[in-house]
Structure 1
Amino acid sequence: MKRLIEKGLMFGNLVRVDSPALVERYNRGLRQLARKETALTEFHIDLSGYSPEIGEELGDHLYLNPNGCNRQFILLSTEQKSAPLLNAKFSMSRSILRRFIEENEEQLFSLTARDAVVGELEDTVYELGSAVRLFDIQRITVVADTTGNHVAESEKLSGLITRFRTEPEGWYDDALIGQMIGLAERTGDVTRNPVALRATSFETPDFWTAHFGGLYIFRSVPHPAAIAMGDRIALGALPIDYVFAHEQRNEIAKFLEMNALVEPIVRARGADAGAILRQKMDFILVEAASRLGLDAGSGSRRELRAIAQHLGSALPEEFQALAAILRWLEAGGPWPRIDSRHPAYFYTLRAAQGPLRDLVNMLLAELCPLDVRQMFICHKELFYRLYATWPEAKKAYVADFLEREYQIDKAGARRALFGAEPGMEDLPAPGPWDAAPVPPKAPSPRDAVDLVGPWGAVLRGRR
């Protein structure tokens, strides 16, 4: 992992805490949330205030995430909104925390100027003894205040001011006036500078969780389902129509197609399909070379081409299928018939635009483990876990590639691969029963995509 850290691919963009005042504020928050404190005089924190250095010191990397649910946070600065969220157990945690900071940036800037803001992503579930408890998570509420309860006291003072102004005897109530004066000494003038936090409640129908071996839950789509990356049988009965194991490729493909959640890369608007396919083929060759102990040199395309020539008919199926698509796309080769049983099937897709884009791309990253770039961008927890198991040559190639091709322009790379970031104006893609009828015509190779699905008919097996 040292190579990733040095290249800024791990623990990158963390916020440095190195002043005595900030360390003391952090300790006040840590004592309030976890009844612990750090002896470190400098460390780095992520979006939630979690510090890898403090995790090592305490011997507990979940010190702000007990039981892996209801994540707690310590905000020392609004700059934390640009930091990553480490040790994420739920996919929605980062987006909720970041949106909360952005929606309340002015208030939080004022509050963190003199104190730490601490809080929790709160739901009604406090332990996850069984997978069925995950379906009780319907809404996340952000509960936040300073360690000195500035927000709560400001709300209390606002209520007392309302009483003072509306109650007939308010002007003569010495006890009420005394309370107001005492609170105002701590909160300031809340009539001119009101303290109120917005955007604190978020619906969470669809998410990924690391619990139970990894589970994707889709409840807002027309055909709801859960997809288990761990032991599906061990989950028990779940309150959702369908639960698919990760090896049920046909069922997963059908689920994605029926809910219009994916699109073929070769049809994606604005995508350079040829460049994307070539890079996926390079990743597949690097994996094949490292598995067979072949020297890929620096991993240049010329050296990888030599590896492909050396392997010949022993080339991985994924590589051969993507090469066939590339020939069809650029040289008018025959249309490749790739159905959901084929190991290359999910490599040919990306998430359709819409609010579930990032979650679907995360799922595709698990279904396409050889595409290391998508895995790093969309599912860092999985990337770091698999990276530790790779041969040294593959580690070096992947780290150098990501530093050279992704770190330079992260936003541009994401836009080129996955399209524009989802926005409020995005509408769901038309489902299988919503599409407008198309007049019949003689099919061309490209029309075949529409006739049989992304690459071939999704197999209609038993549900």
Structure 2
Amino acid sequence: MKHLIERGLMFGNLVEVSSPVLIERYNRALRHLTGRETKLKDFHIDISGYSPEIGHELDDDLYLNHAGVNRQFILLTTEQKTAPLLDAKFSTSRGILRQFIEQNEAQLFALTARDAVAGELVNSIYDASTPARLMDIGRIRVEADTTEGTVKQAARLGKMINQFKRGDDAWFDDVLIADMITLAKKTGDVTRNPVKLKTSSFEQRSFWTSHFGGLYVFRDIQREGVISTGDINELGNIPIENVFSLSSRNQIAAFLEANDLVEPIIDARGIDAAAILRQKMDFVLVDVAATMEEQVTALTRPALRQFARRYISLLPEEFHGLAALLRWAEDNGAWPRITSDHPAYFYTLRSKPHADRDLVNMLLSELSPLDIRQLFICHKELFYKSYAGWSEQKKKFVAEFLDREYQVDKVAAREALFGHEDKMEEPSAEDIIQMVGPWGAVRRT
């Protein structure tokens, strides 16, 4: 993995912890959550406060995520919001943590100035012993406080203040006044600077989980379904009608279409479809060239065409299907009939804009694994697993390509591949004025 690590494509954007003060706070939080602590003098943490170095030290990569459910977290700084989530067991966890930090950023900034904030993503289950248990997850609640209980104490102080203001004899209650003074020394003036975190609750109806070999769960749509990357016969009884294996391409294609979840790249608005198709063909070529132990670093378009001519008999159907679609798009070629049985079919799709967009693109990346860019963006766990089995030449090429074409400007790369993501919020009054003028829409008589 050295090529990825050197270019920040793996363990990139983690937050360094080397200050003795922060390490002491981290250990306080770690003892509070798990009863354990680290002896390391420096380490790195992800958005949840998980550290791969500490995981190695404790010989427990799930030290903050016991049994893979109800992930615990430690916040030392609000800067963690841009860090990745390592070893994710659920596709929604990072998004929930980031939203929680952003919704409470000012409060968390003040709290982490003096202490670590420790918490948990709480759902309705405590074990994932069967796939059916995972279907009981409906909503995730974020619970958090400092190790000294500052938030809880501030809430208690707030109630005392209300009691003091409203009680007829509160001025003579020496015990109440003494307790208020004691708490105020810990929490500060909660009347001017309230110490309160928004109660954050998030729906988790549709998600990917690494449990049971990998499951894609779609429940927030008209026709619910579960897609398993393993043997569906080993899943037992799941309270969802549609259960498919990843190899059931026709059923998956029909499921995605029936729920209006995908669209052909060639018909999508806001992207250069021909450029995307050409890039997908390049990835297939690189895979074949690397298998034949060719030098695949720093490739040019002429070099790729040379590989195509040299290994034409070895090129898979994915390449030929994409090539036919590209000829139609650029050279007015015959319309290629690419059905769900064709190996290139899922390479030609992307998710439509909707709430499950990232989950659908994640599924499509697993159904089109030779597209290494989409695999890296949408399904890092599978990308790293696949990367470990590639040849050294292919590893080097992929790392250099991602560093050059994606890492430099991630936002632009994602927009080029998936299109612009429209905002979902209602237009403001200023937006409406810009659209129709200050006197409203003009009606025709």
Q: Same fold (TM over 0.5)?
A: yes
Distance 2:330 2:197 in 1: 54
Q: Which amino acid aligns with 2:103?
A: E
1:364-379 alignment to 2 at 5 Å?
A: 364-379=364-379
Aligned to 1:207: 207
1:224 aligns with 2:224: yes
Distance 2:46 2:308 in 1: 42
CA RMSD in angstroms comes to 1.3
1:39-58 alignment to 2 at 5 Å?
A: 39-58=39-58
Q: Which amino acid aligns with 1:195?
A: V
Aligned to 1:332: 332
Q: CA deviation at 1:173?
A: 2.1
Aligned to 2:431: none
The TM-score with structure 1 as length reference comes to 0.90
Q: CA deviation at 1:314?
A: 3.5
Q: Which amino acid aligns with 1:148?
A: E
Q: Which amino acid aligns with 1:151?
A: V
Q: CA deviation at 1:310?
A: 1.2
Structure 1: 5+ residue runs without aligned partners?
A: 427-463
Q: Which amino acid aligns with 1:138?
A: G
Distance 1:32 1:297 in 2: 49
Q: Which amino acid aligns with 2:417?
A: L
1:86 match: secondary structure: coil
1:201 match: secondary structure: strand
1:72 aligns with 2:60: no
Change (3 A) 1:376 1:175: same
Please identify, of 63-72 and 301-310, the stretch whose mean Cα deviation from structure 2 is larger: 301-310
Aligned positions, number = 426
The question of whether the paired residues in 1 share the 8 Å contact of 2:296 and 2:394 is answered with no
The question of whether the paired residues in 2 share the 8 Å contact of 1:150 and 1:187 is answered with yes
Q: CA deviation at 1:300?
A: 2.7
Q: CA deviation at 1:290?
A: 2.3
Aligned to 1:291: 291
Q: CA deviation at 1:199?
A: 4.9
The TM-score with structure 2 as length reference comes to 0.94
Distance 2:34 2:278 in 1: 49
| Post-superposition CA distance 1:224-255 (Å, at most 9, x none) | 10111112111111011111100000111111
Distance 1:422 1:379 in 2: 22
Structure 2: 5+ residue runs without aligned partners?
A: 427-445
Distance 1:79 1:296 in 2: 38
Aligned to 2:28: 28
Distance 1:324 1:425 in 2: 40
Please identify, of 304-313 and 99-108, the stretch whose mean Cα deviation from structure 2 is larger: 304-313
Change (3 A) 1:103 1:161: same
User: After TM superposition, which residue ranges in structure 1, 4 or more long, deviate above 4 angstroms?
Assistant: none
Distance 1:134 1:198 in 2: 27
1:144 match: secondary structure: strand
Q: Which amino acid aligns with 1:362?
A: M
Aligned to 1:146: 146
Aligned to 1:167: 167
1:269 aligns with 2:269: yes
| Post-superposition CA distance 1:341-384 (Å, at most 9, x none) | 11100000011012111111111111111000001001101100
Distance 2:423 2:248 in 1: 32
| Post-superposition CA distance 1:68-92 (Å, at most 9, x none) | 1111111000000010111100011
The question of whether the paired residues in 2 share the 8 Å contact of 1:357 and 1:422 is answered with no
The question of whether the paired residues in 2 share the 8 Å contact of 1:232 and 1:245 is answered with yes
